[in-house]
Structure 1
Amino acid sequence: MFAKSFRVKSNTALKGSDRRKLRADVASAFPAFGPEQLSELVPGKDELNIVKLYAHKGDAVNVYVTGGNPVLFELKGALYPTVYTLWSYPDLLPAFTTWPPVLEKLVGGADLMLPGLTVPPGGLPQVQQGDLCAITLVGSRAPVAIGVATMSTAEMLASGLKGRGFTVLHTYLDHLWQFGAKSSPPSIALLDQDPPECRGNVKEEGPVQVDSVLQGDMECLTLHGDAESSMAHKALPSEATEEWREAGMDQDPADGKTFQEQMDELLLRCFFHALKCRVTKADLPLLTSTFLEWVGEQGRKVPTPSIVTPCSSLHHYCFPFLTCISAVSSPEGQQLDIKKSSYKKLSKFLHHMMKEQIVQVKELSKGVESIVAVDWKHPRITSFVVPEPSPTAQGVQEDTKEKPYHPPEIEPLYCIPANMTSLFQASGHTKGSTLSGSEVRAIIIDYAKKNNLVDANNKNLVKMDPILCDCILEKAEQHTILTLSWDKLIERCLQRLKPAYQVTFYGQEPIVKKGKICPIDITLAQRACNKKVTLIRNLEVFGLDPHSVAAILQQRGQASATITPVPGAKDAIQVQIQGNQINHLSRLLLEEYNIPRKYIQGLEKAPKTGKKKS
């Protein structure tokens, strides 16, 4: 819920009567609290504020803050403790334990899946569906997340610990935690000093299987090993076992090769496999994200690897790519982590292939690259032998789901030009700095108050000093306009700043770009024999693959679709489909991809449907 930033509506002190009501609500929600604990959590005289905010999905949340830390939050009438509260009262909620690497996924917004749990010697805590639970990490009782159980303990065990176990509401390191003192979890010793064991589905015959399935940036992580390797892990010290697990190795490097050399080899094999089996000359230029998706298609035709681990440095299209590389070219039990290869990043690998003159890669726009040419006669491509799919690969394609599309978050910003720097330099901003509208407003108000420019007779007016005159007024107005209202002042300031915007793709760091964002442009054009075609441009700006959009429209509109260059624009491509397909396109972009209507132009050109005759 708090994986992304929220918007604060108000922050006010809680009145005495409201404190008493809150104390009663807490006592009802958490009977384990005694009178002293209630007084500590909801003090009678110390500072206690209620912060009303809106989460990124629009949920209205009340957060209660005391001592600089959020201690409770209220959602749809239900009260929940924060991690700050649980660190003081670790036994308040039944606690389930998971592995430390899982925390990163929970912070990113994923729910906790049952295969990610560790089963202590005493068994799992007894809970019912809908019960509030704490989530801890192996080796500590300090809760790092809270969630609601989606099933009872009996149902968890009956399912073989598979499926979604907890809907995670709040975690350590999320934005609600950042709203407080940002302290780290305390060291709380385990009640039982014996280390917990991770219990999977153990059978007398066959392997020991432990699944770690996460929702979020990665749909699933699967761990499969045999009983012998499982015993070997138990024989290792815990630090070594964790290090090997993070490195993705269950055995020593084969043939004397280092783990990094194995990663490089796997990456090369899958790269050539995709070039020979999927890419054709007609597909070029080809976005690298599309190429990765096609690589994933090849990977789903062959056996899945015995171990698959996430690589956070890759784009969200890249999970099938990981599966393919491991599955196509690796022996049983091996895996890929591109971060542990010598290339570290996929873009660096592609540029290395360009230096060897195997492919040519160009940047269509900032952060968007495409493969524009392939040397099909290159010896390394012609000599590559495509491996035969294993019989055990049947059904892999159905089991591997493609990652859903997430529309980017777009925030309008303002860039400071050279002639406005004198107004913003006192606040520490220089030419080219980008600010949000609220930041600009706060800086203007602060500047006016510090320089005593607020009219003493009318607080709604601001007097113009030389800096404001130069930055805000036209030359002809500098001797005629002596004051401006707050609204006019800020409006004029925003008009004189240069436009910019911040775009954040799912699972990636925000990117700030200058200028106005190019909306998805839909136009109609005439072709031979007075036939109409629909043209769609700028899909890449919103992380959409033109080839995928063309394929969907081709199927729904029962019309031919092609990818063509944009006339007069270097390295830009557009989707062209026969007929007026704006109705299909409107449903696809607005309802399925959830692109805001303000970022799409041309929808008004859809064909009007005639009234049916009765």
Structure 2
Amino acid sequence: MFKKKPQIKNLSSLKSSERRKLADQVRKDYSIPEPQPDAPSHDQEGQPATQPQQTLTSIRNALLPDPTSAAKFTTTYGRNFTPVSGTIYVGAHPGQEERILWFQIGKDDRLIPTVYTLWQNPGLTPLLYVGDIVVGKLKGGADLFAPGLIEPHRGFDERAKKGSVIAVAGHKSDTVPRWVGTSSVDISALGDNPTGTAAEGLHWEGDELWAWSALNKGGMAAPESIDGWLGIMSGLEEEVEDLDIDDDGEGEQEGGGVALEHSTSDLKAANGNTAHDNDKQEEEEDVPTTKEVDDAFIEAFLYAVHNAKKTNPAEPHGFDLPIQPSYLISNMIQPHLRHQSPHYNIKKTSWKNAKKFIKHLDKAVLVKSKDRNGGETVILDIDFNDQKIKNFQPYPLPKPKVAETTEDGGGGSKAQDPGTDQSLGQKLTLQVVYRASSKLVPDLLSSKTQFYTSQQITTALKQYIEDNPDLVNESKKRYIKLNPFIANNILGSNSSTDDSKALAAGEIDRGTLNRRILEDDHLCIPHHILLRNEQTLESDSSLKPKAGPPPKVTLTIEKRGGNKVVTAIAGLEAFFINPQLIRPELQKKCAGSASVGQLVGGKPGMLEVQVQGDQRAVIEKEILGKRGVKPEWIEVVDKTKKKGKK
């Protein structure tokens, strides 16, 4: 549509109210849910302890940055060069220059995202996949034909209905949208032999909307990959992880049999990627037999139990029973294998999955297991007195290899060695301090700009009473007589019932007066600061407490992409934790796929880590606990629970 340069009139800034209205229209058109406030809790000082979370404002800013400008445009569309008019919306995401982010055509009020918006908002539209040759045709102005589509293993996105806005990516950079259009048919329901036009093109990387720049610099190059968009292989990778751990079937093809491996190779071929180098490397290694892999798994289990019994003398020797299949594989088996090699994984055993492996341990009378609802098998108990465990001789464990993989969405940076993760073993201290309002200065506290701890404020009140002995009620030492300062500046700050009673009595209990000062944010404005290791507020003048409630790490358990349960982790940055560095550790400990992407609705650079399954226990103990995050700083939001009837 914008193959030729459109005629764009002068830009004019949108009012804040107009921008918010447009952002809300986008949220409605693209089914972006409004964030739901969580029930407020309180900290030890009695202050609200809600955590920083995505808000309606942050979602609006992610879609339409502040400020946003608009301008009318005219162009032609289609083979008949039909005149078309509409509106473009220009804005700049943080750290970038102004670009055309949205456009609207004719009488259709719906806003269409440009590739710049899609690169910043993963998952906004359905993403379809084609070969790179097809991408080149699309960039030439061609429409998208159904036979050119590559259907991912998980199927087409259910949102790709007739008339919906869709994006297209090439098979090599399958997480980077390059083309935007509207679907001509219900793509989600396409059969095995699709024909005809699937979508009509509106905009693409390389057209005149992409090339527009306020500084006439031309278009901005696309990133190599973007976290948050699902690639062609995403569904298959998750299914493989599921089969590794939770597969419930009893057939020979269970846990990644012939049919699944065939699908994997087909998709890799469609994706233009080969595993030639990896295959060559594996051929150079000694490929173990199935029995050798089985024996290695049994030995790893015995090693894990023997080691736990040695380090934790009291039963259950540090194990949190019942033991989940994911914990068994990631925390007991994998760290204790003789060989850290791709050949030594659950799919290479004769059991194929964790369920059958647990059944084997039960049959060997090493554990007692139970099948739960949904087909999951857990370990209820371990026979710690079994002779195999008592007589087990530990063997040297190999040092794990650190894979060099690209972690960032922009491409290029390599995963760091876990040893360079500075958050491991850190000690965190949350300090709550207060700033005094003008009502307390200078009678009680000396400065409005200085920060005070609750103890300092209590001491200041005690000193104030000592300096004014006439305030003490001689018959009731615990009570303080009211003077104009206490009556007007402290008790007069609001009209509560307790204040009215104290004013009527002409006196107030010392402890009540102290709590009254600390709990009224009109008198003492709460701030917080998170101190790391040896940091102190007094020794480092560069540390600045922040207003509002302390931060929290949010663990959101929800279903995404259908019935797949995932755990999303947000708010790590406030605790000096790099989300990119914990992804490999999460993937290993949870024995499931993990990804890092921009937090939807969060500030640019605020990341969210997603890991497959309900992994709250592993994350709290194995990930956050080792990094100094206390349980009271973690908030779990379980969206998979069914709401009870009112």
TM range (shorter): 0.3 to 0.5
Q: What TM-score comes out, normalization by structure 2 length?
A: 0.31
User: Radius of gyration: which is bigger?
Assistant: 2
Q: What TM-score comes out, normalization by structure 1 length?
A: 0.32
Higher relative contact order (CA 8 A, sep 6+): 2
